[in-house]
Chains A and B, each alone.
Chain A
């Protein structure tokens, strides 16, 4: 997988023993979604991140993906627990249910502007 424009941070979480894996997908720094990914490239990345070698080692309990568009604007961050992601990968829950279990924050203005960036 080409990791250009992808930064991954493992952050401690206050009051918890597990950690947070926080990925920044920065299209302005050259990030492109992996070729041959599934129908939903973002969900595919959750899958790839939770199966990465660092996740188990660092006791990652939550994965977050922040997306920055080609203009460098932060559209938002989506996050799910590793348990929920694994349920989705295993097919125990479908995309709609997974989406419902996601949390996050989205900048509506940046999301709108992103549509105008070629």
Chain B
């Protein structure tokens, strides 16, 4: 049996106010407010935390209900992280990417983007570290999904660094040059279903150009 507290009664009073118009937004708002009025005890109990949680009857799916009601924090964190990662991807900004990763360190997609940016910046220790994290956090993820992102990002890195066939002046180290072309060859071969495809072999050819660099 539910018991009502002053907070709940105040909530009912506050929510009972408000005008109506016929727009869908207003209809939605009216429905939310009506629902809140009818469930003021539940809302007050939730907002009161452990002290008042005994006020409400538990739903058989209570774990799911709790996850939904507390989902705001999870989703807000996710949205903030996504914004930071989008900024990092757009501006090649490692600080923004690292901030996103602080919020979601287990996100393989973030880890992959950070790895590819590290490769672009010739930070090879970071590159291999984030690549390892991709492997750790992508268990169960279809490899095509990973390789598609990888190839797309590597093409962008290549576009930024490449100075044309036979030229390696855009790269700052042999390791960077080799790692980029090797990854391009592997992912294009995977996605094309043939590691000896024309595209994969053309990347291997470019990889051989890296030998002109001191190593």
A112 x B65 contact (CB < 8 A) = no
Say yes or no: A115 contacts B18, CB within 8 Å.
yes
B79 near A: Cβ within 8 Å?
Answer: yes
Option from B24, B33, B34, B64 in Cβ contact (under 8 Å) with A62: B64
The answer to whether B64 and A22 touch across the interface, beta carbons within 8 angstroms, is no
Interface flags, A1-35, vs B, CB<8A=1, else 0: 00000010101011110101010100100001100
Interface of B is mostly: helix
A62–B68 touching, CB < 8 Å: yes
User: What separation, in Å, do the CA atoms of A102 and B17 have in the docked complex?
Assistant: 22
Given contacts A105-B43, A105-B46, contact A77 B68 (CB under 8 A): yes
> In the bound complex, how far is the Cα of B32 from the Cα of A67, in angstroms?
9
B212 to chain A, nearest CB (A): 48
One of B69-77, B87-95, B159-167 at the interface = B69-77
Which of A24, A79, A114 lies in contact with B68, CB distance below 8 A?
A: A79
Name A15's closest neighbour in chain B (CB-CB): B63
Q: Does B205 contact A (CB under 8 A)?
A: no
Q: Contacts A41-B27, A79-B65 given; indicate if A66 touches B19 (C-beta within 8 A).
A: no
Known: A22-B75, A77-B68, A104-B68. A14 touches B28 (CB 8 A): no
Interface bracket on A: 35 or more
Check A76–B71 contact: CB distance below 8 A: no
Q: Is the CB of A78 within 8 A of B78?
A: no
Closest to A43 in B: B31
Number of B interface residues, CB 8 Å?
Answer: 37
- A13 to chain B: which residues have CB within 8 Å? 63-64, 67
Chain B 126-180 interface residues, beta-carbon cutoff 8 Å to A: none
Tell me whether B36 is interfacial, beta carbon within 8 Å: yes
- Report A24 CB to chain B, min CB distance, Å: 6
Mark out the residues of chain A between 42 and 95 whose CB falls within 8 Å of any chain B CB in the assembled complex.
42-43, 61-62, 64, 66-67, 69-70, 74-79, 81
State whether B59 touches A78 (Cβ < 8 A): no
Q: Known interface pairs A100-B38, A112-B17. Does A11 touch B32 (Cβ–Cβ under 8 Å)?
A: no
Q: Tell me the smallest distance from the CB of A115 to a CB of chain B, in Å.
A: 5
A62 and B67 contacting across the interface, CB-CB below 8 Å: yes
**B35 / chain A contacts, CB cutoff of 8 Å:** 78, 99, 102, 104, 106
Q: Closest residue of chain A to B36, judged by CB? A: A106
| B208 touches A (CB below 8 Å) | no
If the complex has contacts A9-B78, A115-B19, are A16 and B64 also in contact, measured as CB distance less than 8 A?
yes
**Cβ–Cβ < 8 Å partners of A100 in chain B:** 38
Contact between chains at A76 and B32 (CB < 8 Å)? yes
Q: A30: shortest Cβ distance to chain B, in Å?
A: 13
A-B contact pairs, 5 of them (CB 8 A): A7-B75, A11-B71, A20-B71, A103-B69, A109-B14
A contact residues vs B (CB 8 Å cutoff): 7, 9, 11, 13-16, 18, 20, 22, 24, 27, 32-33, 37, 39-43, 61-62, 64, 66-67, 69-70, 74-79, 81, 99-100, 102-106, 108-109, 111-112, 114-115
